[in-house]
Amino acid sequence: MANLPEQWRTPRVNKATTMAAEFLFSRDLAQADYPYTARVSGEWFKFGFPLSYTSDVLEAALAVGEAGYARDPRLGSDQVTLRALRVLETAGGAI
């Protein structure tokens, strides 16, 4: 929705964009603890191309940034990326 032309961004679209960003910020992107806290999905740390039906931590960070939150301290893109890579490495995954 953040990529819609300005003239198509109604108050409802803006509200939905804000709600989506706030939802993503409600969890720690690098921890990937939603919706399951017991087991983190390895898909979250597989930086994939082309995009498919699964998302990854970098795609989520990009979406939030494109929605106007690129400088929001909750995003901390470098921090999110480094923490995600550390979690993956700790879990024995390949980078």
Q: For 25-70, what is each residue's pLDDT tens digit?
A: 888 777 777 776 677 777 777 777 666 777 887 788 888 888 888 7
pTM: 0.66
Would you place residue 15 in the very low, low, confident or very high pLDDT band (cuts 50, 70, 90)? very high
| Long-range contact pairs involving 42-46 (C-beta distance under 8 Å, separation at least 24) | 42/88, 42/91, 42/93, 44/84, 45/84, 45/85, 45/87, 45/88, 45/93
Quick one: what percent of the chain has pLDDT higher than 90? 18
DSSP conformation letters of 40-85: --GGGG---SS--S---HHHHHHHHIIIIITT-TTT-HHHHHHHHH
Between 57-64 and 77-90, two packed helices, what is the crossing angle to 10 degrees?
Answer: 170
Higher pLDDT, 50 or 85: 50
Domain boundaries, the chain: 6-90
